[in-house]
A and B are shown apart, each in its own frame.
Chain A
Amino acid sequence: MALRTAEVTSGEVQTVVAARRLRHARRVFIGVGRPSTAAILARMVHNPELVLVYESGTIGAKPFHIPLSIGDGELAETADAIVSVPEMFNYWIGPGRIDVAFLGAAQIDRYANLNSTVIGEYPHPKTRLPGAGGAPEIASSCGEVVVIAPHSKRTFVEKLDFVSTVGHGHGPGCREHLGFRGAGPTAVITDLGVLEPHPESKQLVLTCVHEGVEVEKVRDETGWELEVVSDLQVTEPPTGEELAALRELVSR
């Protein structure tokens, strides 16, 4: 099936790239929205053995439809195991039994720290966001974290209004100092490209742009002086198989 890139939306590219990231993962922790779509797509196209874990306590869920909430009935009905919330955090997430966690955020900084709590001052916020939920302990304990976020200056900021979730903290050695177990954020997948922490500085650098995206555009939409790696990659466009599977999934 021939599909021209022009027909593909940036959101579809973002989902396809996130799904590819799960090619070799064994167990992934996901919330609703694009992360969930990407993980179900990964099971369909790349990795049928992938174990989906939702915060609601459903381990090994095999949803046919994209769930609206993390606790939809279909997740419970198809799960290998259903556990309580204390068990989910204390026996499954805390000990690092999950390889990859997908997280989102309203704001992200150059060290991939996340804000999902407030815009403005905490006691008198301009905008009250939902809050941290499970993210702080997910990010400190899971094998690695992949952040999925829309690329704009509103989201990619110089300084967070509130640190809800620690990514790489203040830089090298910070996670180790705090006693965190996992590797922390290893990629930020946006609708423009992919940012990854520099191995030494831990600052996010642009390693990949989606097809047709100018580097200048990515810089413009980033709230700090974004560095670009010398061997910048271009995302391999979604294949016919990936796109057909994604669209079929969304239409269910």
Chain B
Amino acid sequence: MADLVSLREGVAELVSDGDSVALEGFTHLIPFAAGHEVLRQGRRELELIRMTPDVLYDQMIGMGAARRLVFSYGGNPGVGSLHRFRDAIEHGWPRPLELEEHSHAGMANRYAAGAADLPFAVMRGYLGTDLVAYTTVAPITCPFTGEQLVAVPALRPDVAIVHAQEADRQGNVQLWGIPGVQKEAVLGAHRSLITVERIVDELEPRPGGIVIPGWVIDAVAEAPGGSRPSYSLGITDRDNDFYREWDRVSRERETFLEWMSRHVLSEEVAWH
């Protein structure tokens, strides 16, 4: 059974300097509130893992919290570049960022192997691309047919942090809408924190709902609106204007730092 904690307690308990941390959510249910709490607690030297480092990781990278990034697509969806991500890679600001880059299929399979506690996943992919020379993949031959395939190593983050719509008082979590790789990230990680829009007495079954039993989760924290400017289907809407606005805010280092200090780091905006 998961502990019901405050967001501050959950992050303090589960995330340490130097950890590999996966904050997942594929355009939907992105755990912004939790990522911001990690920044407020001043965690450093993190290995950040995420298929699509969008605005949240742009913020974490721009604040210098990451030494390494494991990812497959680093853009502001539908808008353009992630300027802080680019600045870190192109100019080493505010610090150099080590990269491990994959394709989406590769990352998804790595998470699935982690959830299954297998050492690697087998897939068709990567062949013929220049990525092979710069990332961790290896050729493997099918023992039954002889087909040439590719192996990708399992992802086993120290901590997975995801956001969901609701949890009950035993810490059972339900999420619905686009499920991304959240379940795989939680099952593959050594520790897990799930933030939810609300705590309810009883989970009401939803079409396509995924329930993650509380006994595979370490901590659940209530964080209403905790996925904004991403969204929690049925509860909050995606703030597309914010994603467009981020392009302007993040373009220059100064405006970025000023924005972060006012909207993320300030005690007044902190969760309890």
A241 to B247, CA, bound (A): 35
Q: Which of B40-48, B124-132, B160-168, B191-199 contacts A (4 or more CB under 8 A)?
A: B124-132
Q: Which of A33, A73, A75, A125 contacts B90 (CB 8 A)?
A: A125
Question: Counting CB contacts under 8 A, is A131 at the interface?
Answer: yes
Q: Are A86 and B108 in contact (CB under 8 A)?
A: yes
| Segment 46-72 of A: residues with Cβ below 8 Å from B | 55-58, 67-72
The A/B interface has a contact count, at CB < 8 Å, of 171
A126 to B91, CA, bound (A): 9
Q: Across the two chains, which residue of chain B brings its CB closest to A120?
A: B90
Contacts of A57 in B (CB 8 A): 26, 178-180
Q: Which of B78, B89, B148 contacts A128 (CB 8 A)?
A: B89
Q: Are A85 and B126 in contact (CB under 8 A)?
A: no
Which residue, B52, B128, B208, has most C-beta atoms of chain A within 10 A? Answer: B128
A32 to B77, CA, bound (A): 8
Question: Counting CB contacts under 8 A, is A190 at the interface?
Answer: no
Given A85-B108, A89-B104, A137-B105: A131 in contact with B237 (beta carbons within 8 A):
no
Q: Which of A161-169, A192-200, A208-216 contacts B (4 or more CB under 8 A)?
A: A161-169
Q: Are B109 and A86 in contact (CB under 8 A)?
A: yes
Q: Are B180 and A89 in contact (CB under 8 A)?
A: no
| Segment 78-123 of B: residues with Cβ below 8 Å from A | 78-79, 81-82, 85-86, 89-90, 101, 103-105, 107-109, 111-112, 123
Chain A 132-168: CB-based contact to B (< 8 A → 1; otherwise 0): 1111110011000000000000000000001111100
Question: Counting CB contacts under 8 A, is B211 at the interface?
Answer: no
Question: Counting CB contacts under 8 A, is A117 at the interface?
Answer: yes
Q: Across the two chains, which residue of chain B brings its CB closest to A123?
A: B134
Given A136-B131, A141-B124: A69 in contact with B86 (beta carbons within 8 A):
no
Q: Are A162 and B130 in contact (CB under 8 A)?
A: yes
Given A69-B78, A85-B180, A179-B127: A133 in contact with B103 (beta carbons within 8 A):
yes
Q: Are B103 and A69 in contact (CB under 8 A)?
A: no
Interface size class of A (residues with CB under 8 A): 35 or more
Contacts of B52 in A (CB 8 A): 133
Question: Counting CB contacts under 8 A, is A2 at the interface?
Answer: no
Given A76-B233, A122-B130, A130-B73: A71 in contact with B26 (beta carbons within 8 A):
yes
**Could you list 22 examples of A-B contacts with CB < 8 Å?**
A68-B78, A71-B26, A71-B238, A73-B238, A84-B179, A85-B26, A85-B107, A86-B109, A89-B104, A89-B123, A94-B123, A131-B71, A132-B72, A132-B101, A132-B103, A133-B72, A134-B72, A136-B125, A136-B129, A137-B103, A165-B129, A178-B128
Q: A residues touching B (Cβ–Cβ < 8 Å)? A: 32-33, 55-58, 67-73, 75-77, 82-86, 88-90, 93-94, 117, 122, 125-128, 130-137, 140-141, 162-166, 169, 174, 178-180
A-B contacts besides A85-B51, A135-B103, A164-B129, 19 pairs, CB < 8 Å = A56-B26, A69-B238, A69-B240, A72-B27, A73-B238, A84-B179, A89-B104, A90-B105, A122-B130, A128-B90, A130-B73, A133-B104, A137-B104, A137-B124, A140-B127, A163-B130, A165-B129, A178-B128, A179-B148
